[in-house]
Amino acid sequence: MRTEKNWAKEMLMHFETYIGLIAFLYITVVLTTQVVGRYVFGHSWAWIEETSIIGYVVLIYCGVSGAVTTRQNMRIDMVLSIVPFKPKKTMMILDTVIHAAFSAWLSYFMYQIILNMMVLKQVYSVTRMPRIYVYIFIAVMLVLSVIRAVQEVIKLAKEQEHELGKAKPAFDLDAIWEEGKRVREAYLAEHPEAGKERNK
């Protein structure tokens, strides 16, 4: 049964996934509104296009970090499927280290861009929101991607052959269903009268 502590840990481990989900829902809602407004009412809003682009950037960089945690990064498995366990583990760890190094390298250049933007004080043309906020978010997601890669290397180093590199989705609907089923069964075991009322 999920406890408060486990729930908090789950949120922390999939922090970027949930932010990406919110960004995706936002983009879906506002772009649907834009399409309906334009083709049904003959009116569109400039701020929707601008904020949708910002939302799309947020979604992309949440995905960069979230894909490491859920092991959804694109890779060619042809070689991995034919090599023995130890070389396979070494290759997967090396792949993750390269990802971390590339994200760290990008973070450095993003930091330089942020320093320049602090001087230029650029804003978006419609919403007038400072552009620096989006670039700071990108830098944070890249640093988080490095942290996730370090966590992944530690996890891979401990895994045995039968579990090596197995992906677990952030939203495991089967696991949620099974957990709900266990909770219902436990509740009915403690309160049999609830089951009788339901069957009436």
Per the confidence metrics, is the pTM higher than 0.75?
no
Q: Residue 67's pLDDT is what? A: 83
Higher pLDDT residue, 100 or 189? 100
Q: Residue 3's pLDDT is what? A: 45
Higher pLDDT residue, 82 or 75? 82
Measured distance CA(83)–CA(75) in Å, rounded = 15
Q: Residue 2's pLDDT is what? A: 46
How confident is the model over 156-160, as a mean pLDDT? 81
CB half-sphere exposure, 192, CA atoms < 13 A = 0
| Residue 197 banded pLDDT, cuts 50, 70, 90 | low
